[in-house]
Amino acid sequence: MAGDGRVQRQSVDGALEARVGQVLNDFLDRRERGEQVSEAELLAQHPDLTVDLREHLDLLRDIEPTRHALVELLNRGILAQSADTRYQGRLGPYQVVGLLGRGGMGVVLKAYEERLNRTVALKLLRPELTSDKTALARFEREAKAAAGLQHPNIVAVHAIGEENGTHFIVMEFVSGPTLAALVRKEGPLPAERVRVLFGQILAGLKAAHDAGLVHRDIKSSNILLHGPEQNVKIADFGLARMLSAETRMTMNGSVFGTPTYMSPEQARGDENIDHRTDLYSAGVVLYEMLTGRVPFRADASSALIHAILNTEPPDPRALRTSADKHLSRLALRLMAKERGDRFSAAVDALTALEQGRGVRLRWSNRFRRRMLGAVCLVASVTCLLWAASSYLLPLKLTKVGVGIDNDKATPRIEARWGSNLEFEEFYTFPPAAGFVASVEKVDPGPGYETIVLASTHAPVDGKSLFAFRAGRVSDERHKPFWSESLFRPFQWPDTTVTEFCTGPILASNYDGNAGEEVVLIASDQNQYPSYIALFDPRELTIRARYWHIGNLNEIVIAPDFLGPGRPAIIALGINNKLDGFLEQRADDPRPLASFDWVSVLMILDINEMKGERLINIPNARGRMPDLPPVLPYAYAFLNAAPNKTVLYVDPMTRESRDPNVDPEDGEVLCFAVPSIASCSGSGPSGSCIQVSLHRGPAPTSGGAVLWLDSDFVVRGFDPLASERAFRTKEPWLERFKPLVVQSKYVGSSQ
């Protein structure tokens, strides 16, 4: 009876724990991939889990303060001060170079091992993962076994250790990206490249399985690509087994597996997990390389697990017609629901891959029974559906997105209804639209119908913002019932405004009342200006419009950021007028920036946004259209070129010249990827703006992460570049120039 009670308790609590764990795991994985995602957005997306999520987010911040800022790790005694000023800290014999990332298991640091003169990766384990002595002992046994496994396609485990209560693993340092990042950047991969990469994955699994090791958490983010040839390195052998202990499903309500890649036996919670679960997960990775997406996607973990257990994955060629037939069938064979219908070993799958022979798909007994039942029922079900079709209720719209063809956005809106995991066409604009720039499902609140709000890259009949009803009753509902032009007939200096399109559209309940509000960006396609608008989805009108002399491209909505009931908009982009105007006048002030384009970051107090205003920067005095000026809550820029094409402006003569800037000297810098993160001592909200600083045009050029409070005071700094000149915050902050703080102009020195 006691055992039955325990099972019942686990069944009641387990569903909630699993869902909370999946939400947290996806949140951490997205941040690790560099996606723009904040805690506020996470809580807004899962209002029924707010209490549980806040508890675990607090725990994560306690374990990984200010997203693992190294200074905080030093302050908490996790790292010791290094006697060598070239390093950020020390952990035992390892000199810490910088932060590599984080995940559900803990922090990953780049370090230097002086004794062996080599660079290594240190994975610091979360305390929950080491508090269970049984789990820790099992982990140590398997980590030692993994350390004895030497294979070119597996990240080598050099050692395990413990320092002042912090358990860590010393691993081979791999400098390349993850396979997840590669697919996210490039989309579906060419067949020949897939064959090479997947062959290396199977070779690594074969070596591990031959040594008696089962990974249990194969996924694209655990597959690293090493060196110029981007050879596969499978990471984290031995870690997943640790989660098979009693703590696996109950670590303070968190689950750190990855249901997206789970085999059916893992999703059921079977205890007898063998090497064929790795083959299933590898099949999901192969599917992802072929199509650019995983076979099953759902907002709730329960729906995802249901699909893994009960739904056959669609053929990759149904999602991408150019997908290789042989590789597609190989992926489906590996993802068979029943273990006996998969390959019996990694070597068999590797042989099938290398020989390029046909892969026979095996129907499980359950599938045969379903097919027999389907044959018996198809006629009666068809008749019933035909008879009842006029009485069927429309399914609820659950998600919308931009159509993608051949890795390019199209003028098509796609949607999902009910529990359906597949997107289908919702509406297609004429070719003149170019592509759908942004689309969002908006719930205006009680008494209002849910709508779909979309914008196009180019105007269609002069209109570029469109509203649709969210129903699925007939094709007639899939036509815009409202549209609006975003163009405003102002004359701007040094430019000819042509036509406007929108950037991001964000829907958020930022005022605390029932129903969502909308924030959007509109920009001139070719030059400047741009504006941030507050859109009323109930009245279908723009109620506030703040103009900016430059292009804006990213926004984040931060409820309560400036205090209780004071939401803020965090925006970044460029300003191309801080260097003055093309036609100079004798009374012009000295240019604020040394380049004709500079990267900017601003904060707007949503409660203060009213009517139509011009965001006033001192250099713009007397030169803009007749709009009431307004200072943002805060405004700053980087006094550096965002790319190599911009002009340098001599601050004394105001003469422009080609910058001849080399990214290697650190002069090409820009803001990117804003989000909201916890940050102690940061003001009324307890949050900071987390913003990336990139060297050159892409994150791969290196950079850093800054944590700024609402007054642009630097609360944290993490170097992401290993270059000597940019491992401290001073070179960055020399170029960081606040102009406005608390709606007051503070100026900026050159």
Pairing assessment for the beta strands 397-405 and 408-417 based on DSSP bridges: antiparallel
Residue 637 pairs with which residues in a beta bridge? 600, 737
Torsion over CA: 456, 460, 464, 469 (sign): negative
CA dist., res. 603 & res. 634, Å (int) = 5
The dihedral region occupied by 673, where left means phi > 0, alpha psi between -120 and 50, and beta the remainder, is left
Provide φ and ψ at 745, rounded to 5°.
-70, 125
Q: Which helix (H) or strand (E) holds 543?
A: strand 541-548
Q: Name the strand (E) or helix (H) holding 545.
A: strand 541-548
Identify which of 127, 172, 114, 122 has the alpha carbon closest to the alpha carbon of residue 147.
172
Spatial strand order of the sheet with 669-678 comes to: 669-678, 687-695, 703-708, 714-719
Is 123:173 a contact under the CB 8 Å cutoff?
A: no
CB 172 within 8 A of CB 121: yes
Q: Residue 725 half-sphere exposure, CB side, CA atoms within 13 Å? A: 10
160 forms bridges with which residues in the sheet? 169
Q: Quick one: tokens of 430? A: 């004429």
Task: Specify the 3-state DSSP secondary structure of 6.
Answer: helix
Q: How many CB atoms sit inside 10 A of residue 623's CB?
A: 16
Q: Which of 217, 236, 315, 605 is catalytic?
A: 217
Tell me if the bond preceding 589 is cis, omega within 30° of 0: no
Q: Tell me whether residue 217 is one of the annotated catalytic residues.
A: yes
Cα 236-238-244 angle, rounded to 5 deg = 115
Length of the chain counted residue by residue: 750
If phi > 0 it is left, if psi is from -120 to 50 it is alpha, else beta; for residue 718 that is beta
Three-class DSSP category at 443: coil
Following DSSP, what letter does each residue of 283-346 receive, concatenated?
HHHHHHHHHSS-S---SSHHHHHHHHHH-PPPPHHHH-TTS-HHHHHHHHHHT-SSGGGS-SSH
* Helices 191-210/346-355 angle, 10° precision: 150
Q: Which residue has the tokens 């020390």?
A: 90
CA–CA gap between residue 209 and residue 81 (Å, rounded): 41
Give the tokens for residue 328: 């597609």
Which is nearest to 338 in space by CA: 260, 258, 265?
265
Q: Write out the two tokens for 593.
A: 């920036």
Closest C-alpha among 69, 68, 93 to residue 82: 93
SS (H, E, C) 485-510: CCCCCCCCCCCCCCCEEEEEEEEECC
Residue 227, C-beta contacts closer than 8 angstroms, at least 6 positions apart: 175, 176
Q: Which of 332, 262, 322 is nearest to 291 (CA)?
A: 322
d(CA 702, CA 82): 23
Q: How far is CA 17 from CA 7, 71, 254, 379, in A?
A: 14, 33, 6, 42
**Helix, strand, coil shares of the chain as percentages rounded to 5?**
30, 30, 40
Catalytic residues: 217
